[in-house]
Structure 1
Amino acid sequence: MMTLIAIFFPCVSFFLRGKILTSIICLILQITLIGWVPAAIWAVISLQNARADKRNRKLIKAIKSRS
């Protein structure tokens, strides 16, 4: 669901994740039709990186709790 939002509404994707300044910059970029594609790519990559960071923090926490 968030991936579709990131593709069709890149600035909303950043806003929903609490990145207000990034959302404003993305909105400025996506105002032009040419800028929409880089904004969507940026939003999707950022979303994937956030998911990977969350997954890594969870793994590190699990490893530390085993020790």
Structure 2
Amino acid sequence: MTLIAILLPWLSFFLRGKIFTGILCLILQITILGWIPAAIWAVISLNNARADKRTDRIIKAMQQQR
């Protein structure tokens, strides 16, 4: 998924269900100079989503131990 976020940032957003963000990213990616910030944005967003999933799993595990 990280490779998709670098090569096709807009597709990375579409695959995660963020359609509006994907369209905005596609508009940014249309220009050559805009492709680099779009790729960085997609990778950071992907890493944040992964961190959120890890945090949710930790919280659920802590709640089950009570």
Same fold per TM (> 0.5)? yes
User: Which residue of structure 2 lines up, in the alignment, with residue 6 of structure 1?
Assistant: 5
Root-mean-square deviation (CA), in Å?
0.2
User: Which residue of structure 1 lines up, in the alignment, with residue 42 of structure 2?
Assistant: 43
Report the AA paired with residue 48 of structure 1. N
Mind listing any 5+ residue stretches in structure 1 that lack a counterpart? none
Aligned partner of residue 18 in structure 1, secondary structure: coil
User: Which residue of structure 1 lines up, in the alignment, with residue 26 of structure 2?
Assistant: 27
2:10 equivalent to 1:17: no
Aligned partner of residue 20 in structure 2, secondary structure: helix
How far apart, CA to CA, are the structure 1 residues paired with 2:24 and 2:45?
14
Aligned partner of residue 52 in structure 1, secondary structure: helix
TM-score, normalised to structure 2, is 1.00
Q: What is the deviation of 1:23?
A: 0.2
Mind listing any 5+ residue stretches in structure 2 that lack a counterpart? none
How far apart, CA to CA, are the structure 2 residues paired with 1:65 and 1:37?
43
User: Which residue of structure 1 lines up, in the alignment, with residue 52 of structure 2?
Assistant: 53
Q: Taking every aligned residue pair, what percent have the same amino acid on both sides?
A: 70
User: Which residue of structure 2 lines up, in the alignment, with residue 65 of structure 1?
Assistant: 64
Q: What is the deviation of 1:17?
A: 0.1
